[in-house]
Amino acid sequence: MIKINLLPFRVARKKENIRRQISVFLLLIVLTIVALFWYTLTINKQILTVKERTKQVNSQILKYKEKADRVAQIKKDLKALKEKLEIVSVLKKQRDKQLILFDGMTELMVPGRMWLESFKTNKDNVTIKGIAFDNPTIADFMEKIEKSPLFSKVDLKTAKMRKFKDNVMLKSFELLCKKEKPKEDEKEDSKQGKKRAGEK
Across the range 103-109, mean pLDDT stands at 76
The three-class DSSP label of residue 13 is helix
Q: How confident is the model at residue 96 (pLDDT cuts 50, 70, 90)?
A: low
Q: How confident is the model at residue 69 (pLDDT cuts 50, 70, 90)?
A: confident
Residue-wise pLDDT tens digits, 4-38: 555 566 667 777 788 888 888 899 999 999 999 99
Percent of the chain with pLDDT over 70: 76
Distances (CA, A) of 104 to 8, 91, 140, 146, 190: 142, 20, 15, 12, 27
What pLDDT is attached to residue 172?
Answer: 92
What pLDDT is attached to residue 174?
Answer: 93
Identify whether the C-beta of residue 132 lies closer than 8 Å to the C-beta of residue 113: yes
Across the range 35-64, mean pLDDT stands at 89
Q: How confident is the model at residue 71 (pLDDT cuts 50, 70, 90)?
A: confident
- State the Cα–Cα distance between residues 104 and 150, nearest whole angstrom: 8
Closest C-alpha among 175, 194, 191 to residue 183: 191
- State the Cα–Cα distance between residues 128 and 132, nearest whole angstrom: 12
The three-class DSSP label of residue 155 is strand
Closest C-alpha among 130, 117, 121 to residue 101: 121
Domains parsed from the chain with CATH numbers: 61-183 (3.30.1360.100)
- State the Cα–Cα distance between residues 46 and 96, nearest whole angstrom: 74
Residue-wise pLDDT tens digits, 120-169: 888 788 888 999 999 999 999 999 888 888 888 889 998 888 887 778 88
pLDDT at 193 over 60: no
- State the Cα–Cα distance between residues 1 and 22, nearest whole angstrom: 40
Q: What is the CA radius of gyration of the chain?
A: 51
Q: Other CB atoms closer than 10 Å to residue 98's CB: what's the count?
A: 13
- State the Cα–Cα distance between residues 22 and 16, nearest whole angstrom: 10
pLDDT at 186 over 50: no
DSSP string, 98-148: HHHHHHHHHHHS-TTTEEEEEEEE-SSEEEEEEEESSHHHHHHHHHHHHHS
